[in-house]
Amino acid sequence: MPKRGKGAGTTYYHKGSSRWCAELNLGFDANGKPLRVRSYHKTRKEAEAWLSEQVTLYHKGLLADPSTLTLQDWAGRWLERKRREVRPRTFESYQYELGLVLPTLGRLPLQKITPTHIRALVDNLLQTHKPRTVRAVRTRLHAIFEEALNLEVIHRNPVSPVKVKLPRGSTPARVGRSLEPHEATALLSALDSYKDERIALSLRLMLSLGLRVGEALGLQWQDVDLEGGTLAIRRAWSDGRLTEPKTPSSRRTLPIPHSTLERLKTYHALWKERLGEAPPATMWVFPGNNPQKPLDYRAPAHALRRIVKALGIPPLRVHDLRHSYGSHLLANGVPVEIVAERLGHANATITLSVYRHVLEQERRNWVVDLEALLTQPRAKA
């Protein structure tokens, strides 16, 4: 049988799997070992169609050589692009998560990594890390391989079949704490008398409009329509730098509740008095000690810890103010689509996943007595 050249392929029946195998020869490594890619199919026709497609891709230069492209190489390219697309903290989390993978799998050729490799990695990580961390690692790996699949560098995503299962007795991480009504009332009252009006009002916006801390600190006066009673989210301030909103849907315009609007008007008048004129459109609503920059990103969180401690309220993260906003909207019957829009979620599915516990409690409160409905007298037309 003549030796198959580089870029040539064949199909044959594989008795071990009882399926048709399509095999493409990609040449030889430094030791003379053949480099091949294979795929198994139910019929010979399917196998030949797959092989024909791969041969075409190979001759177009679109099929990567599995001997040269490693997971570390591909992940490095992926990270470099993400560095330009996501916030610094998000990028750091990506680096950390992949740092748990690359020492083990980084040198393996991308096309030779199998679900077995991923399963072993996940099982090992579960012995030393929290399930939440391992799930994040799996999510990051899935995204990297999915991109390689979409670009036709690999033929299947080895991460897809591997799931991260919680160990027995463990519970999912808490999403966030929602303020009880009496706690929210006490906090709002305390904010009215807080010494630093910038921090007090920024915290109020997080609670009354569901803003992220970076969204509140990134506000300029041109984003606030005091006459129309609306507030536009166009940027965010995080870790000493200005960024785009977290997602495209985070760029939104919100109606300002009456009580908060009145306080914003008072705050605006205060700055007008201090400056001798109305605040410029590009002035930060909550300027820092250096007026060229907004408040320090950590300032609201530090203040909130002091306030809740003085009030005797259990510990509260600054993000819990946003969580409280969403929880109370849903608990009061606001449609989930509206809540998703106000919070800047990409879709209502995200809102449902985060606030499912609120909706489950509401559903339990809906008790319908069918017998009462059937026996009660009907109103006459």
Rounded distance, CA 108 to CA 122, Å?
16
Q: Which of 36-40, 72-76, 160-164, 359-363 has the highest mean pLDDT?
A: 72-76
> Between residues 56 and 170, which one has the greater pLDDT?
56
pLDDT at position 3 is: 46
Reduced to 3 states (helix: H, G, I; strand: E, B; else coil), residue 267 is helix
Number of helices followed by number of strands (H, E) in the chain: 16, 8
pLDDT for residue 1 is more than 50: no
User: What tokens appear for 81 in the block?
Assistant: 């692009």
Task: Return d(Cα 301, Cα 331) in angstroms, integer.
Answer: 26
What's the rounded mean pLDDT across residues 38-47?
87
Whole-number Å distance between alpha carbons of 88 and 216: 18
Query: 316: Cβ–Cβ under 8 A, 6 or more apart, which residues?
Result: 177, 179, 304, 305, 308
Average of per-residue pLDDT across 37-60: 83
Mean local confidence (pLDDT), 253-265: 95
What digits encode the pLDDT tens for the residues 198-242? 999 999 999 999 999 999 999 999 999 999 999 999 999 987 788
- Per the listing, tokens 């519970």 go with 171
Range of lowest pLDDT (27-31, 132-136, 230-234): 27-31
Residues 162, 312: Cα–Cα separation, whole Å: 45
Report whether pLDDT(194) > 50.
yes
Question: Which tops the pLDDT comparison, 180 or 281?
Answer: 281
Of the pLDDT bands very low, low, confident and very high (cuts 50, 70, 90), residue 191 is: very high
Q: What is the CA radius of gyration of the chain?
A: 29
What is the average pLDDT across 289-311? Answer: 94
> 3-state DSSP call for residue 324?
helix
Enumerate the β-bridge partners of residue 22.
Answer: 11, 39
Give the C-alpha separation, 23 to 44, whole Å: 12
Check pLDDT > 90 for residue 176: no
End-to-end CA distance of the chain: 91
Most confident range (mean pLDDT) of 63-77, 263-277, 337-351, 353-367 is 263-277
Structure tokens at 262: 């009145």
Cα–Cα distance list, 269 to 204, 208, 275, 276 (Å): 18, 21, 10, 10
Give Cβ neighbours of residue 325 (< 8 Å, ≥ 6 apart): 206, 207, 208, 209, 210, 342, 343
Q: Is the pLDDT of residue 313 over 50?
A: yes
CB atoms within 10 A of CB 173: 10
Reported confidence tier of residue 25, pLDDT bands at 50, 70, 90: confident
Q: Could you tell me the two tokens for 19?
A: 């399926």
Between 103 and 360, where is the model more confident?
A: 103
User: CA 276 to CA 365: how far, in whole Å?
Assistant: 55
Residue 21's CB is within 10 A of a number of other CB atoms, namely 18
Segment of 89-103, 149-163, 209-223, 348-362 carrying the highest mean pLDDT: 209-223
- Stated as kind and residue range, the H or E segment containing 243 is strand 241-243
- What's residue 64's pLDDT? 56
More confident position, 4 or 228: 228
pLDDT at 164 over 80: no
For 143, half-sphere exposure in the C-beta direction (CA atoms, 13 angstrom radius) is 14
* 3-state SS assignment for residue 273: helix
By three-state DSSP, how is residue 231 classified? strand
- What is the pLDDT of the chain when averaged over all its residues? 84
66 or 285, greater pLDDT: 285
| Structure token pair of residue 24 | 């493409």
Query: For residue 61, is pLDDT > 70?
Result: no
pLDDT at 148 over 70: yes
Residue 266 carries which side chain, given as an amino acid letter? T
Contact 144/74 with Cβ under 8 angstroms? yes
* Residues in the chain, overall count: 381
Burial degree of 102 (CB within 10 A; 0-12, 13-18, 19+): middle
Q: Which residues contact 103 (CB under 8 A, 6 or more apart)?
A: none
pLDDT beyond 80 at 364: no
Q: Which residues of 70-87 are buried (b: 16+ CB within 10 A; e: fewer)?
A: bbbebbeebeeebeeebb
CB atoms under 10 Å from CB of 53, counted, come to 15
On the question of pLDDT at 264 being above 60, the answer is yes
Of 67-71, 88-92, 314-318, 347-351, give the lowest mean pLDDT range: 67-71
Which of 138-147, 187-196, 238-247 bottoms out in mean pLDDT, i.e. has the lowest?
238-247
